[in-house]
Structure formats: C-alpha cells, structure tokens
Amino acid sequence: MNSPFKFKNCTFGFYFTITLCSIFFTLFLFINVLVFWTEDKFGSGLSIHQILCNVFSPADGTDPRLIASLLKRIWLCGAGGMLFFLVLSGLLDYMIKNLGCNILHIKSVRKTNVSDRNTVTIPQSSKDKKNGPDRFAADRLSFPCRRNKILAGFLTVLVFLSACFFVQLKFHVAEYLIYGSQKTVIFDNYCTPDKAEIAAPAQKKNFVWIISESLEESYNQKEIFGEDLIAELTALQDQGLSVPNWVQVDGTGWTIASLISSLYGVPRRIVWNNRAFSENSCVKILRQSQSVFHVLKDQGYEIVFVQGDSLTFAGRNYLFENFPWVKALSRENLSKTPEYQAFIKKNKPYNWGVHDQLVFDNAEKEYERLAASKKPFVLVVQTLDTHGKNGFLVPDAERKYNDFRDVVREQSRMISQFVKNVRAVNGSANTAILIMGDHLAMQNTIQDMLERVPERRVFNLWLNGSPQVHSFSSSPCSTFDFAPTILEFLGFRWKDHQFGIGVSCCSHDENLLKYYSINQYEEEFNKESEVYDQIMLGEIANAGSALLR
C-alpha cells in the first residue's frame, strides 16, 4: 500500500538521520554491554591502561569461553541496533500514515510548486476551493521534515553523549586524556645495577617462586568467609616473612603486568608510539632491559617456568623471547604428558589449560631434576585454577560450599602440599620459597564477601631466605618493588637497593610510594614519559641514578 504522503527532497536525509541515530544507539548499547561484561568477568575498577594493553595484546591463548561470551554480547548489540532502527522507522511511518488518513481523511497528494521544500501541501476538494484554502488543515498536515531531522539529530547526539558519560563514569577517560598531555618524572630515575656491582652470597640459594592466580590474604578472614579459606598457607606464615603493606597500584593489577613488574621493576602501561604499533611492540617489549632473570642467569642459575595455560596468553610468548635460555613448560607441553592423558580419560578437560594439580606434579619432577644437578636454579610455578568468575575446580576436589570458596580452599591445599613435597627432597634446606598472588581477585561468585573486607591485600609469604633478611619495610610498596626484593632475599647485594623504579623491601629505604600517595602515583602514572617509552621499546637499558637521591 502506498503511503498517502510524498516527502519532497527530505526522505533520504530523514532516514539517513534515523540510520545514524540507530548506529549511535548500537554503539551506546555496545559500550554499556562491554562495560557490564568487563565488570562481570574482571571486576570493577579496571584502569584504562589495563583495558588498552589487553585490547592490543594477541587473543591467542585466551579462555575460549571468555571469547564466546563476548562475541555473544556483540551479536546481541547488533541485533538490538537493527531492532531499534526498524521500530523507530516503522513507528514514524505509522504515525505519518495515521495522521494523513485517519485524521484528515486525505487519500491523494498532488504535486505543487512550493517555496518551502520541507513541507507537504494538502490537496483541496472543489468545495474547499469555493470556500477558500483550508489554512487550518494545511497547518495541521504540514509535515516539518527539517524539524524532525533536527529532533532525530538531537537524539543521536544525546545517545552519543550518554555513551561518553557512561565511559567517563566507569573509566575516567577525561582524566586519562588530561594527564596524558602532561609529563612525569617518576621513570626518569630508572636504574638497574651493573653486573660488576652485584655481590653474590657465599652460598647461592635455590629459589622456588609460586605465583598463585588472584590469591588474596583477605581469604583468611573467618568472620566473612565462614572459615580461613587459606588455612594451610596461614599456618606457614609463622615460618617466614610477609611484606605487610603491599598495595596494588595501576600498571600491576593483571597477570602479565604483575609478572613484568616483579621481573623488571617497572609497571605496565600502554605505549603511545608509532613504532610500538608498527612493530607490535605493545607486546614485543623490554628487549634491551635487564630483569631479575637476567641477573640470576648471569650468576649461573638455571631457570624453569611452569604454567598450565598457553604461553601465548596475553603475549607472554613475546616476553619470553627476552629469555631464550628459560625452559618454559605450558599447556602445549603438559597436555602431551601421560599424566594429562590419564586425567582426561576420567575427566572432561577444559580448553583453556591444564589443572593446577597436574602443573604441580610436573613442577615437582622439575624440582627433583634441578636439585640433582647441584647447580643453583629458579623454579617458577604459575597457577591457573583461581582465574575467572567460577574458577576451575578439579573434579575430585572437596565441594563444601559449591562456590568460589571451594576453589580457594583447594588452591591453598595444593600449594602447601607442593611446599611440603619440595622440602622433602634432599638439599631443599638451601631453597628459598616465595608464595605470592599476582593481583587482587577478579570478579568471582563470592565478590559480595570480598567487598566486605575493609582493606584487601594480595597474599605474599617468603620462606627460608638469606640470613641477612630479618624483616621487611612496613611502608607501602608495590609489585615493582619485588624485583629488588627477590634478589636481596636470595642474598645478592648492591649499593642502592634499587631495580627499575623499585626499591627493595628488605632495605627499609624510601621508595616511590613514600614520596607519592597512591592517588598521586596514579596521576603521575597516566602522564607521558619518554624514558618509559624507551625502556618498553627496548631502546634504553639503564638511565639515571639511584631513585630520588
């Protein structure tokens, strides 16, 4: 059925505006869905740097369930935008037809030459001609296309501004842009010790470094969680030391950022540099920079890194290109072992990685091999089961609460059992052990309990270190302070206790967070630094002198 109205020179422009409005509505819908999806999977309080670093990192090795969940929401956003377009255009068409047919009973339109191209002229019957033009009816039926285009344009701008406001509310983009136009000096005193400066201990300690995904000290609070979920680790605390005031700051709060911070003594942030994107250097980073692994390798250490997920996750394979002499065991290796094949015969595997129990089993074998070699060594074990909203509970684990608490309890049990097994091996008396979470817990099924914790802290426990280390500084420190702390915990010494921008917690010297509050640090962190860009792009190996001296 033909419409009773013919829009002169305005149909294309009007529906183009509706289409544009629908596109912006889809964008608004996508931003809202993406924000809620991000908070649902990773928790609130994500920084813009964390989001950008992950966006520009390869998707290889990412949990396929996570990707499928995101793609499902993107598809729904597209469907929602199309539905919005159809409803809006159909509603307008319906209103126009009813305005012409039902109210004024006009069935045809004659073409007229009018000066105002944005109106539709009303045809007049012979009776109307005798009585003169029906001015009232003409005013009623005149369709103001320009006014409606302005209205649709206003809706478009309103939707766009709403999306911008929502993003600003969640991620503080305006502050990021403002600070990004300024310069900071916090990286200008980046410094790593020369090889000749480092004094090794008389007897080099072996080092077992357990990096537990999302492990918080907060889980020990019985009044919140119903019991001490990490009771086995709490019992071990009487035998070692803990950094009492370790705070999570921007640039350290996700897995790859935590690893970089504790190895290189610098936080992780995006590098806005043409070279960075042309060379994919957002992941190909720190080529010339010295790390804790480099220092220990130069001191004769063999280094083994064991993890259950893929080495490609978050671009770690690019990072490990800086350590070609590190033996890295990951999902690609462990999934081929007889133990894994026996496991999947009885249990359904999950596509992302290998359960921590199998990771620890293989790590124990590596420890026995390394201990028999009579050379100093580093064994790093990075866990996986406590990742994500629900975690990955091994099928035969105890299910007491049927929520994330069961995953935490099993993680504590496995770590403590691994430590016990390591200590049972001959020569383990000369092995220092560090157990640490990589960052605060992601969004999980007991988030409401975690939010009741007054002051959340990442778990850390240092066992059997150098006899010279009796305590840690009580001042605030962050993950980049762990790089020099690890070396001094193993007995290595140099004159200024600094590595990167981190200062050893063993030294009780003043570090960055003694000069800047956390809010001040995060303001400075968002500012541009030419030195930081050079460090990340591998164009500088050392700069400055001892921090803030």
**181-212: pLDDT as tens digits:** 789 999 998 999 888 889 999 999 999 999 99
Which of the residue ranges 45-59, 107-121, 194-208, 442-456 would you say has the lowest mean pLDDT? 107-121
| Residue 348 φ then ψ, to 5° | -80, 125
- Would you state the pLDDT for residue 127? 46
- Would you state the pLDDT for residue 67? 66
Mean pLDDT of 82-111: 54
Of residues 294 and 539, more confidence is placed in 294
- Would you state the pLDDT for residue 443? 83
Res. 177: pLDDT tops 50: yes
Q: List the structure tokens of 399.
A: 């299910």
Of residues 532 and 433, more confidence is placed in 433
- The residue among 479, 488, 473 whose CA lies nearest residue 207 is 488
The answer to whether the predicted template modeling score (pTM) of the entire model surpasses 0.85 is no
Res. 13: pLDDT tops 70: no
Kindly indicate the confidence band of residue 9, based on its pLDDT and cuts at 50, 70 and 90. very low
Dist CA 544 CA 21 (whole Å): 53
Which of the residue ranges 37-46, 155-164, 252-261, 513-522 would you say has the lowest mean pLDDT? 37-46
Kindly indicate the confidence band of residue 548, based on its pLDDT and cuts at 50, 70 and 90. very low
Dist CA 262 CA 500 (whole Å): 10
Cβ atoms within 10 Å of 248's Cβ, excluding its own: 21
Mean pLDDT of 102-130: 43
Number of H helices, E strands in the chain: 22, 8
**136-161: pLDDT as tens digits:** 444 444 444 555 556 666 766 776 67
- Would you state the pLDDT for residue 55? 67
- The residue among 508, 535, 539, 512 whose CA lies nearest residue 524 is 512
- Would you state the pLDDT for residue 6? 42
Q: List the structure tokens of 397.
A: 């684990």
Tell me what percent of the residues of the chain surpass a pLDDT of 70. Answer: 72
Q: Which amino acid is it at 104?
A: L
Res. 405: pLDDT tops 80: yes
Res. 115: pLDDT tops 70: no
Q: List the structure tokens of 528.
A: 């541009």
**215-225: pLDDT as tens digits:** 999 999 999 99
Kindly indicate the confidence band of residue 56, based on its pLDDT and cuts at 50, 70 and 90. low
478 neighbors 249 (Cβ within 8 angstroms) = yes
Mean pLDDT of 41-67: 65
Kindly indicate the confidence band of residue 71, based on its pLDDT and cuts at 50, 70 and 90. confident
What length does the chain have?
Answer: 549
The mean pLDDT value of the chain amounts to: 79
- Would you state the pLDDT for residue 140? 41
CA pseudo-torsion sign 474, 479, 480, 486? positive
Of residues 198 and 57, more confidence is placed in 198
